[in-house]
Structure 1
Amino acid sequence: MIDRQNEKKATPVTFAQRGLAMLTIFYCVSFSPALAAAEPQQPLWGDTHLHTALSGDAVAYGLLRSPADAYNIATGKRVTTPEGQIIQLTRPLDFLVIADHAEGYGLVKAIIDGNQKLLKDPVIRRWAGMLEAGKNALVGQEMIQAQSTGNLPDVIKDGQDITRGLWLDMLKTADAYNQPGEFTAMIGFEWSAAPQGNNLHRVVVYRDGGDLAATRLPLDTAVSGMNPEKLWAWMADYEKETGGKILAIPHNANLSNGQMFQMVDGDGSPLSASYASLRARWEPLVEVTQIKGDGEAHPLLSRNDEFADFETWDIGNLIGSREKSSDMLPGEYAREALKNGLIVQQQSGSNPFKFGMIGSTDSHTSVTASEENNFWGKFATTEPHPGRWVKHRKPLQKDGWQYSASGLAAVWARDNNRASIFDAMQRREVYATTGPRITLRLFAGWSFDSSDLTDPDIASLGYSKGIPMGGDLTAAPAGQSLSLMMTASKDPQSGNLDRLQVVKGWVDTDNQTFEKIYNVAWSGLRELTAEGTLPPVGNTVDVADASWTNSIGEPQLSVVWTDPDFDSNQHAFYYVRALEIPTPRWTAYDAKRFGESMNNEVPMTIQERAYSSPIWYTP
């Protein structure tokens, strides 16, 4: 407001002074053009799937670290374990979603703290005794089994008073750590449906702050049942009642025994247009890589893809109740789901599997460390110590060395705040990495050419001439082919880049799906074979020393690629896979640190990678 009373007392300003002020204002506004840019200029790095001691299975396995501990770790602070080990990330995150299980939210901690209401139940009392006796792992297994079969004690199902208090405390903590522009504490929880152990879990992420999230408790499968459509209805009600926004991210389809991406709905009916549009509306992303394996592709589904067998976890489901069979695989892997989505799109006009791809950890340690040389394991029992790599020797269970130090979510957001990050997720302008901070950009259009790569502002050019990852192209101009402009830069703390590949999937008029891998940019003087493959990049890893050299590979790869097989009448999708040169796996670092000799079956090297979100073409 202008102070008219003191207006006459203001110091006079000469014309020259006014001109200088105007000049100064002009330069302040225009000197930093990136501040006014509409498009995001750099990726934000985060984890959308981290558990704390509010998750029953985490605390049952010995975790006592709180949400505050998780935020402190994510923002780069040091935390000391009871054993005296120092936990610290090499680089802080830009954002974090703490996604504790809605089922029994915080109640195991309440059991340990001696909550009398819970201890009236005989099963709870038995678990309390087992926890006191140090049988945490057994309690965790029993809890997962009870949750998956719907047999949690009634006192847990009815424990809303306890859950409400813990949820409100969590929201206050998230809001306290949320510092827009520096670090974003996004609010979330995990809806943990697992009928008979078949994983249908979703992480639910809010755009909102604690004020709106507090209006409802996290949805528990004891209330909703196991059908994801019930979750979507709950999400719709939340948005209608609060005016807020919310989305869901499925994960670990590889443990669903074919149910995550099956071609029928929850009632067993073929996928309809309404189902397809609902699923695409509420689930714009899929977590495609994490601790429990990689879910981009499977070697039996993509037999011509030499890199499809990567950190593959394809034994059984969450509780090992049924061995995996090959007929389940098409409903478990992202690439196959993307292809099947084209069939539904062609038949109904809507695509249920139109998702972007991210990575996250699913760590149950409050530690969001996804680097091979700083891997803190899945549970407190698998934090760094000698022997954590060994076999479990149980049917349908993975061995310790088969866990992956993965992954990260990269988000092309305009600002580091809840709204901007959420909006980027919703429009699918995101990508996944298996841990390294590879910078990856992808644009599609009809008029890109190689000279565009010399533009000093490739991003602005990409937005002006095309669309970014996660977007749609339609109705190709007559006689033109789709072109992709892509650029990738190595993580400064990781390996050089081996190659960039385009993964294309399409469907013909007979509803038959196809895929093809194109090597489009690569390091060194290698040449493509007649089949389009490349010789391996090489390997500089010294396993005994857990080290490597960047004497092979390239720090950056860029290319404009035009689809040589483009058919303007076919539904198709495209995404980019960026591969690093081989580097030491976490098992090699453990072997060196603890002086261990591991079995020959244990991999000691890894080719880390990034997966862009797809771009879709619709005739």
Structure 2
Amino acid sequence: MTRTGLPALALTALACAAPPAEDASGVRGPGRAGVSPGNAADRVALFGDLHIHTMYSHDAFMGTVRTTPDDAYRFARGEAIPHPSGESIRLSGAPLDFLAVTDHAEYLGALAALIDPSSPTYGHALTDALITGQGGGARARLGALSRVRELARAGDPINGPEVRASAWQRIIEAAERHNDPGRFTALIGYEYTMGVSSRHVHRNVIFRGSEAPELPFSSLDGDPEDLWNWLDGLREEGIEALAMPHNMNQSDGLAFPDRETWKGAEIDAEFAAKRIRNEPVAEISQQKGTSEVHPSLSPNDEWADFQIVQYYLDRVNNTDPISVFKGGYWRDALLTGLEMEERLGVNPYALGAIGSSDSHVSAGSFEEDNRFTSRRNTPQARGSAYSEEDGGWENFWTPRQATHGTGGLAGVWAGENTRAAIFDALKRRESFATSGTRIRVRFFGGFGLDDAVSDAADPIAAAYEHGVPMGGDLEGGDGGAPSFLVWALRDPENAWLQRAQVIKGWLEDGETKEQVYDVVCSDGLEPDPDTHRCDDNGAQVNLDDCSISRDKGAVELRTTWTDPDFDPGARSFYYVRVLENPTCRWSTWDALRLGIEPNPDLHATHQERAWSSPIWYTP
């Protein structure tokens, strides 16, 4: 994120009263959530990362990562840790409020055990091939990993339960050590990593408390439906957990099927109910791209082209472009869910939103001007600078990782900084995603909500009393249009806010429709009633030094908005997207520091953003 000083107040004058003091303060960092969990209006925004890999993930280990879950928690709390390149890395902004280490359940700890003298597989015959590639580099290591998979299927102890249980116990123990209720929350979790010919059907599993099974359920044990059955079984035993899909943009449409299960059966109401019961939230922003929306699916959305990853991640030939987008993006899934609810009576895709990093170096890279990547942490390796041999951009082949972004962040509205409060916020979908910036966004909907909050001394309390927060379902209405309270507060260390939008999706005569409405603009501008767009506020980026306009944008955006096109007979959803003024992308920061022109194949600037979870309306 671009570092900026605080400007003169650029508060947009709106009809609503000021938000509660804790929401308007701009205070960041751990320790601010010591309020009672019983009062919904006292909930505060917490920021964290629910997708981090350490040396216990096989791919991180092969990338020479030797940092542990303890290191991941130390980094999240503001400490410096070692990077595989030999450098020291740390957050340049405030510490996080919460973190979950989510190492891959598949081959969990198997490679790390090879260099652990206490492990039964220490000194295994494949050790040299896996760690060094025996001179063959990445291809040799991948070949050795394929051999590990073959041995695992044959019952070799290299991936035996003793090895996996040892790593899993160390992950749990690290979370227990670093969990500090009220100040910092360390959640227990892992990644379930199913792939079909490099098409990702991945999800992270997060546990509510200290209770966890002896071993995590992996894709070697079954498909996602089997995972949900396992989660249902844990719930009956008193162990609460939920799963969150991610990397949907890499799924070739397999992430959100509408007709057929992974077992080849027809999707029915039971399948749909099982899915939404166990997967209420999706990770839509992370370093391997944004999965909110794709330009080909939403051609009328001018802001859809944001951190779009173009190539498959797991193929050695990384010039294979992704070609199937439907079924791989969150907004499309929200629309499909309306259709499926009409047909099945259950919406399997009533999904809230979070962001996270998916870092494989035990540390999330969230700031555009503090970018670090896996293993070779150089601009040349990540595609933002050419080498001396290239001599210029005309001879440079841009690698696939150059289209990756910085890590996203998970935001929740919780009454206290504890495992239970954060988990419950995720479960009720009072969560939001950001691209790495710490915008705080609130979103409420209700019939007559505009009147309820306009004169209220505490509009947030009134919104909870007379409406529903993000993640909720609208009820009643008697045919009148719903109103929504939209509120966003700028990250004080990043750019000012440009606009807040409501994205609406609905079902009309059996077909899905969508519309982007700008609902509040910065700088005294008003949305055009015909185009539903704000004029550009004129904010600029100086590519010579990445400085940004200091007299454009808002600290706070807030309004009540009533749907002008409401059809009381149409199933629909609404969510908020908040856009900052343009800033330099991480690749431009790299080029600037090297004194070269930015890579012409990449966006020089972009607009960081936040997304709320939706609110749904059912006739």
- Residue type of the alignment partner of 1:262: P
- 1:103 aligned residue: 106
Q: Please say if residues 450 and 560 of structure 1, whose CA atoms lie closer than 8 Å, have aligned partners that are also in contact.
A: no
Structure 2 residue 312 is the aligned partner of structure 1 residue 316: yes
1:197-346 equivalent positions in 2, closer than 5 A: 197-209=198-210, 212-213=211-212, 215-224=213-222, 227-241=223-237, 243-263=238-258, 264-316=260-312, 318-319=314-315, 323-324=320-321, 326=323, 328-346=324-342
CA distance, structure 2, for counterparts of residue 138 and residue 481 of structure 1? 58
Q: How far 1:154 sits from its partner (Å)? A: 4.5
- Describe the SS at the equivalent of 2:233: helix
Structure 2 CA distance for partners of 1:325 and 1:251, relative to 1, 3 Å: closer
- Describe the SS at the equivalent of 1:192: strand
Structure 2 CA distance for partners of 1:36 and 1:192, relative to 1, 3 Å: closer
Structure 2 residue 194 is the aligned partner of structure 1 residue 193: yes
- 2:171 aligned residue: 170
Q: How far 1:106 sits from its partner (Å)? A: 1.2
- Describe the SS at the equivalent of 1:269: coil
- 2:541 aligned residue: 541
CA distance, structure 2, for counterparts of residue 411 and residue 605 of structure 1? 28
Structure 2 CA distance for partners of 1:147 and 1:345, relative to 1, 3 Å: farther
- 1:20 aligned residue: none
Q: Please say if residues 192 and 218 of structure 2, whose CA atoms lie closer than 8 Å, have aligned partners that are also in contact.
A: yes
Q: How far 1:159 sits from its partner (Å)? A: 1.5
- 1:518 aligned residue: 517
- 1:599 aligned residue: 599
CA distance, structure 2, for counterparts of residue 351 and residue 335 of structure 1? 14
- Describe the SS at the equivalent of 1:289: strand
Q: How far 1:368 sits from its partner (Å)? A: 1.9
Structure 2 CA distance for partners of 1:448 and 1:587, relative to 1, 3 Å: same
Q: How far 1:129 sits from its partner (Å)? A: 6.2
- Describe the SS at the equivalent of 1:340: helix
Structure 2 CA distance for partners of 1:299 and 1:144, relative to 1, 3 Å: farther
Q: Please say if residues 102 and 190 of structure 1, whose CA atoms lie closer than 8 Å, have aligned partners that are also in contact.
A: yes
- Residue type of the alignment partner of 2:132: M
Q: How far 1:450 sits from its partner (Å)? A: 6.7
1:56-95 equivalent positions in 2, closer than 5 A: 56-81=58-83, 83-95=86-98
Deviations 1:215-261 (A, max 9, x none): 4201122222xx200111111222223x1200000001110111001
Structure 2 CA distance for partners of 1:64 and 1:294, relative to 1, 3 Å: same
Q: Please say if residues 40 and 412 of structure 1, whose CA atoms lie closer than 8 Å, have aligned partners that are also in contact.
A: no
- Residue type of the alignment partner of 2:516: I
Which range is displaced more, 144-153 or 257-266?
144-153
Output the aligned Cα RMSD.
2.8
- Residue type of the alignment partner of 2:404: Y
1:407-556 equivalent positions in 2, closer than 5 A: 407-449=408-450, 452-453=453-454, 455-474=456-475, 476-509=476-509, 511-529=510-528, 530-556=530-556
CA distance, structure 1, for counterparts of residue 149 and residue 561 of structure 2? 46
Structure 2 CA distance for partners of 1:143 and 1:523, relative to 1, 3 Å: farther
- Residue type of the alignment partner of 2:383: W
Structure 2 CA distance for partners of 1:520 and 1:289, relative to 1, 3 Å: same
Return 5+ residue gaps in structure 1 as ranges: 1-31
CA distance, structure 1, for counterparts of residue 507 and residue 273 of structure 2? 19
CA distance, structure 1, for counterparts of residue 151 and residue 253 of structure 2? 20
CA distance, structure 2, for counterparts of residue 285 and residue 495 of structure 1? 27
Q: How far 1:163 sits from its partner (Å)? A: 1.3
Which range is displaced more, 58-67 or 267-276?
267-276
- Describe the SS at the equivalent of 1:589: helix
Structure 2 CA distance for partners of 1:505 and 1:126, relative to 1, 3 Å: same
Q: Please say if residues 101 and 190 of structure 1, whose CA atoms lie closer than 8 Å, have aligned partners that are also in contact.
A: yes
Q: How far 1:587 sits from its partner (Å)? A: 1.2
Deviations 1:492-522 (A, max 9, x none): 001111111110001124x211101111101
Q: How far 1:42 sits from its partner (Å)? A: 1.3
Percent of aligned positions with the same letter in both sequences? 36
- 2:345 aligned residue: 349
CA distance, structure 1, for counterparts of residue 175 and residue 58 of structure 2? 20
Structure 2 CA distance for partners of 1:128 and 1:295, relative to 1, 3 Å: closer
Which range is displaced more, 397-406 or 581-590?
397-406
Q: Please say if residues 75 and 92 of structure 1, whose CA atoms lie closer than 8 Å, have aligned partners that are also in contact.
A: yes
CA distance, structure 2, for counterparts of residue 125 and residue 109 of structure 1? 10
More RCO (CA 8 Å, sep 6+): 2
Q: Give the TM-score, by structure 2 length.
A: 0.86
CA distance, structure 2, for counterparts of residue 245 and residue 596 of structure 1? 52
Return 5+ residue gaps in structure 2 as ranges: 1-33, 391-396
CA distance, structure 2, for counterparts of residue 553 and residue 183 of structure 1? 32
Q: Give the TM-score, by structure 1 length.
A: 0.86
Q: Please say if residues 538 and 581 of structure 1, whose CA atoms lie closer than 8 Å, have aligned partners that are also in contact.
A: no
Deviations 1:155-193 (A, max 9, x none): 367411111112112211110100000000000000101
CA distance, structure 2, for counterparts of residue 486 and residue 527 of structure 1? 15
Which range is displaced more, 67-76 or 453-462?
453-462
1:18-167 equivalent positions in 2, closer than 5 A: 37-81=39-83, 83-113=86-116, 118=121, 124-125=126-127, 127-128=129-130, 130-131=132-133, 133=135, 137-138=138-139, 141-142=142-143, 154-155=155-156, 158-167=159-168
Is the helix fraction higher in 1 or 2? 1
Structure 2 CA distance for partners of 1:142 and 1:558, relative to 1, 3 Å: farther
Q: How far 1:488 sits from its partner (Å)? A: 0.6
Q: Please say if residues 429 and 613 of structure 1, whose CA atoms lie closer than 8 Å, have aligned partners that are also in contact.
A: yes
Q: Please say if residues 499 and 534 of structure 2, whose CA atoms lie closer than 8 Å, have aligned partners that are also in contact.
A: no
CA distance, structure 1, for counterparts of residue 281 and residue 290 of structure 2? 15
